[in-house]
Amino acid sequence: MNSPLLIERVADTTSHRDRDELNRSIVRLLQQFLDARFVALYSVVDHAHVKRVACRAGLTHEQRELPADPLDDFKTLPELSARPAWHECVTRGDLVQMTYPDGHCRCVFPLEGEREITGMLEVATAAPLQPRDASLVRGILRILKNQLSLLDYGERDTLTGLLNRKTFETRFDKISQARRSNGAAEHVPTWLGLLDIDHFKSINDSHGHLFGDEVLLLVSQIMGRTVRGSDQLFRFGGEEFVIVLEAATPAGARAAFERVREAIASHTFPQIGRVTISLGYTEVRPQDVPATCIERADAALYYAKRGGRNDTRNYEALVAAGELVGEDKTGEVELF
Which of the residues are catalytic?
A: 239
What is the chain's alpha carbon radius of gyration, rounded to the nearest angstrom? 23
How many whole angstroms separate alpha carbon 303 and alpha carbon 314? Answer: 10
Q: Would you list the DSSP string of 27-64? A: HHHHHHHHT-SEEEEEEEEEETTEEEEEEEEEEETT-P
Contact 270, 289 (CB under 8 A): no
How many whole angstroms separate alpha carbon 27 and alpha carbon 177? Answer: 24
How many whole angstroms separate alpha carbon 196 and alpha carbon 6? Answer: 49
From residue 220, alpha-carbon distances to 14, 71, 277 in Å are 31, 21, 12
How many whole angstroms separate alpha carbon 296 and alpha carbon 300? Answer: 7
Comparing CA positions, the residue from 251, 154, 230, 245 lying closest to residue 195 is 245
How many whole angstroms separate alpha carbon 331 and alpha carbon 313? Answer: 20
Residue 223's Cβ-count burial label (10 Å; 0-12, 13-18, 19+) is buried
From residue 31, alpha-carbon distances to 24, 176, 192, 329 in Å are 11, 31, 38, 51
CA angle 263, 160, 70 (to 5 degrees): 70
Contact 123, 129 (CB under 8 A): yes
Phi, psi of 211, rounded to the nearest 5 degrees: -70, -35
Residue type, 177: Q
